[in-house]
Amino acid sequence: MNIIKIIILVLTLFYSSYGQQQDSSVVNEESFKTNTLSFSALWGAFGLLHANYGRVFDGGNKEYQILFGTFGYEEDFSEAEEDGEYIDGYLYGIKGASGIKGSYRKYRNGDARGLFYQANLRFLNYSWGYKMNGEDWTDVNTFVYNPSLVLGYKYHPPILNKRLFIELFAGVGYSYDDPKDGDVKLKFLDDDDDPASAEEAGSNEFGPDFNVYIGFTF
């Protein structure tokens, strides 16, 4: 329910903010499509269901984007029961994850294409659980916070009236999550055949942020 409340709040703020952009740039926006819908080629390859909606304004100089995504979501931990290994007396399992990303983009030369700078803020909630031998599963939800800054390029090939586009970006981001429940922290095996290879999950570090999107304007 928390993720649903966040989505409703972000959508409300998103459209309220755009509704206030009433200036002379509206005339310029009519020369090109101001809505975009795109999908990540990389995330799609890993089975993440998602959609990224964008709204161009200020004569094609700026763009707001909002992305929703979900992965997995099993009803129980039956897969972990069948294939999992106990680590330090606990069996761990993951049901799935869902998240939202808000982005603000500035095009260097306007016209909603070419070189751009972008700031992202992601919130991800993943559902996991643990149990001791002979006991019931305990469900846990953990939030991931991931802001980033990237540099990218958006290209419209000369097909389909230039409504199709391909864009790629790369930059740096910061990720933080601490998946634990009291004294129990989520762990995984780095080597499935070696119980001694157990490592704690979680992050508190800077890292690369890159992706490739394919989409269309309307």
In contact, 213 and 103? CB cutoff 8 Å: no
Q: Across the strands, what pairs with 104?
A: 64, 119
**Model confidence pLDDT, tens digit, residues 143-157:** 999 999 999 999 999
Q: Across the strands, what pairs with 90?
A: 87, 132
Angle, alpha carbons 45-50-51 (nearest 5°) = 120
DSSP state of 87: B
**Model confidence pLDDT, tens digit, residues 15-33:** 454 454 444 444 344 456 8
Torsion of CA 178, 180, 183, 188, to 10 degrees: -100
In contact, 208 and 186? CB cutoff 8 Å: no
